[in-house]
Amino acid sequence: MKEIFTPNMRLSDMLDMNYSLVQVISRVGVDLKHSGLKVADACAFAGIDPATFILISNVYSFPEYIPSPEEVASADIHDIIRYLHGSHDYYTGMALKNLESSFDRLVEPCDENQKKVILKFFVDYKKELEKHFSREEEEVFPYVESLLSGVRNPGYSITDFEEHHENVDEKMEDMKNIVMKYLPDVCDENMKMWVLLSIYRLRDDLRRHTYVEDNILVPTVKNLERDGR
Amino acid sequence: MEDKKSVILVSPSEIVARGLEVVIGDSGEFRVEEIFHDLSRPVEARLRIVDPDIVIIDPTVFDFKSRKEGRGRLADICDSIVMALDVSGLTDDVLRQYDGSVSIYDSPDEVLRKVRSSMESKQTDSPMSDGGELSSREKEILVCVAKGMLNKEIADKLNLSIYTVITHRKNITRKIGIKTVAGLTVYALLNNLIDMNSVQ
């Protein structure tokens, strides 16, 4: 398949084409002040494989983009994990925190019971998501790292980890619909709009994140488990 | 104004199936798409593709032991209204699983009336009411879900088959756009269908 972004592009041109890539750049450690450089050179500064960076950027920007098996097979797993880890930091350190404080302000005018119910829903969702992340951070990534350094842990396989993404996505959809349609009239329209936009952004970001896990990390690790490397 | 409703008949008896096809087809409201004599894999595949409005099936195509679960197999295949074709005097626990039934001893008018009424009882939940109000039955089920009851418990409490409960739940989700139990609970509370004390 023809690649959409290439290592010979200037990084700033890539960002102009899709400014949400600003987030990807910081997650893999590429410095924004290198945006004037070609992608390959900016990647060299950050010590990330340019092809893997392009792969992530294509997947992140174009939901209909399906990477070829060769692209997936040649992806650098260290860099993929670096991206996933950076995303986790962004979700827990920024996105969810901001969303939570916006939620607090949004439901502020509601009566106590309503407030309690809505915030509980959000907090439960947040906890579930964080649990999911910390499992990856504490079990999956170390497992993959040890695999890369040639150590096999026979009690564990990457297939144990291919699961429950659906549930968090469904809850996110529910949250979106509740904010959109079912909040009491006392809630401020502008606040509602703001929260809704944050939810949509986070939802799309999480879906791309899940895609990278399920379709790039998992198959690459499966190959590694089978063949070693 | 409305298209004819599509029907698929499943009966081991060619004669019975052909007879029913004539009765149903003559009305002009329904069109019998296909007739099958069993529920083999290829037939299941056809059902999935055709996804008819109504399936009328003789439950004897399932062996006696699996007769009660048979309806569930169909629910997994398609979203159709499923009526039992009663040839041999089916027991109540089997009939209860279906969205209605016709007997081979019914007059043609009776057959049509029963099929129509099964259609109508589901019609209130049809996609036409997307985004619309929940029916009182749906509200009742939503309240049970919000209180943390399982499908089986809801079915027992309201004296419905578990498949009917599942269908209602699908319709609730389609109408209000909320799928998870946690989300449904929030909806129920915000709409004053339950109060805080009845949750957890």
Taking only the tens place, the pLDDT of each residue in B49-58 is: 888 889 999 9
Q: What is the pLDDT of residues B125-163, one digit of tens each?
A: 444 445 568 888 999 999 999 999 999 999 999 999 998
Q: What is the pLDDT of residues A54-76, one digit of tens each?
A: 999 999 998 888 888 898 989 99
Q: Which residue of A has its CA nearest to B183?
A: A174
**pLDDT over 70 at B23, yes or no:** yes
If you average pLDDT over every residue of chain A, what do you get? 90
Instruction: Out of A166-170, B4-8, B188-192, pick the least confident.
Output: A166-170
CA A28 to centroid of chain Cα atoms:
12
> What value does the mean pLDDT take over residues B156-172?
92
Buried b / exposed e over B15-24, threshold 16 CB at 10 Å, is: ebbeebbebb
**Per-residue confidence (pLDDT) for residue B95, from 0 to 100:** 81
Closest C-alpha among A79, A14, A15 to residue A46: A79
Name the minimum distance, in Å, from the CA of A109 to any CA of chain B: 14
CA B99 to centroid of chain Cα atoms:
5
CB contact under 8 A, B179 and A170: yes
Measured between alpha carbons, how far is A169 from B175 in angstroms, rounded to an integer? 19
Residue A27's H or E segment, with its range, is helix A21-27
Domains and CATH numbers, chain B: 5-123 (3.40.50.2300), 127-195 (1.10.10.10)
**pLDDT over 60 at B186, yes or no:** yes
Question: What percent of chain A is modeled with pLDDT above 70?
Answer: 95
Which residues are B30's β-sheet partners? B5
Tell me which chain B residues have a C-beta less than 8 angstroms from the C-beta of A171. Answer: 180, 182-183
With left for phi above 0 and alpha for psi between -120 and 50, is residue A228 left, alpha or beta? Answer: left
Name the minimum distance, in Å, from the CA of B99 to any CA of chain A: 29
**Per-residue confidence (pLDDT) for residue A164, from 0 to 100:** 62
Buried b / exposed e over A176-201, threshold 16 CB at 10 Å, is: bbbbeebbeeebeeebeeebbebbee
Name the minimum distance, in Å, from the CA of B104 to any CA of chain A: 45
Nearest CB neighbour to B180, from listed A113, A116, A174: A174
Which residues are B35's β-sheet partners? B9
Q: Which residue of B has its CA nearest to A166?
A: B180
Name the minimum distance, in Å, from the CA of A29 to any CA of chain B: 37
Is residue B33 a contact partner of residue B5, using CB atoms and an 8 Å limit? no
CA distances from residue A17 to A87, A130, A139 in whole angstroms, order as listed: 21, 31, 36
Task: Give me the residue spans of the domains in chain A.
Answer: 11-70, 76-227
ipTM higher than 0.90?
no
How deeply is B135 buried, as exposed, middle or buried, from its count of CB atoms within 10 A (0-12, 13-18, 19+)? middle
Nearest CB neighbour to A124, from listed B182, B190, B196: B182
Which residues are B5's β-sheet partners? B30
A interface residues, B as partner, C-beta within 8 Å: 113-114, 116-118, 121, 124-125, 167, 170-171, 173-175, 177-178, 181-184
Measured between alpha carbons, how far is B162 from B155 in angstroms, rounded to an integer? 5
pLDDT band at B200 (very low <50, low <70, confident <90, very high): low
Residue A173: how many CB atoms within 10 A of its CB?
17
Alpha helices in B54-177 (DSSP H): 67-77, 92-95, 108-123, 136-146, 151-158, 162-176
Q: Which residue of A has its CA nearest to B190?
A: A114
CB contact under 8 A, B196 and A181: no
Compare A154 and B112 and report the one with higher pLDDT: B112
Which string of DSSP letters, residue by residue, matches A104-155? Answer: HHHHTTS-HHHHHHHHHHHHHHHHHHHHHHHHIIIIIHHHHHHHHTT---TT
Q: How many residues does chain B have?
A: 200
Nearest CB neighbour to B187, from listed A113, A170, A178: A178
Name the minimum distance, in Å, from the CA of A102 to any CA of chain B: 18
Measured between alpha carbons, how far is B200 from B198 in angstroms, rounded to an integer? 7
Tell me which chain A residues have a C-beta less than 8 angstroms from the C-beta of B147. Answer: none
> Phi and psi at residue A75, in whole multiples of 5°?
-65, 145
Tell me which chain B residues have a C-beta less than 8 angstroms from the C-beta of A113. Answer: 189, 195-196
Give every strand in the sheet of B81-86, ordered side by side: B30-36, B5-10, B54-57, B81-86, B101-103
Helix axes B181-190, B136-146, angle to 10 degrees: 120
Query: What pTM did the predictor assign?
Result: 0.69
Q: What is the pLDDT of residues B66-123, one digit of tens each?
A: 776 777 778 777 778 889 999 888 887 788 788 888 998 999 989 999 998 888 776 5
Nearest CB neighbour to B190, from listed A124, A175, A184: A184
> What value does the mean pLDDT take over residues A123-143?
92
Nearest CB neighbour to A173, from listed B179, B189, B196: B179
Tell me which chain B residues have a C-beta less than 8 angstroms from the C-beta of A175. Answer: 183
Tell me which chain B residues have a C-beta less than 8 angstroms from the C-beta of A181. Answer: 176-177
B interface residues, A as partner, C-beta within 8 Å: 176-180, 182-183, 185-187, 189-191, 195-196
Residue A218 DSSP label: H
**Residue with token string 């039992």:** B84
Nearest CB neighbour to A118, from listed B176, B177, B186: B186
**pLDDT over 60 at A1, yes or no:** no
CA B190 to centroid of chain Cα atoms:
30
Nearest CB neighbour to B189, from listed A117, A170, A181: A117
Output the six-digit token pair for A71: 């692209």
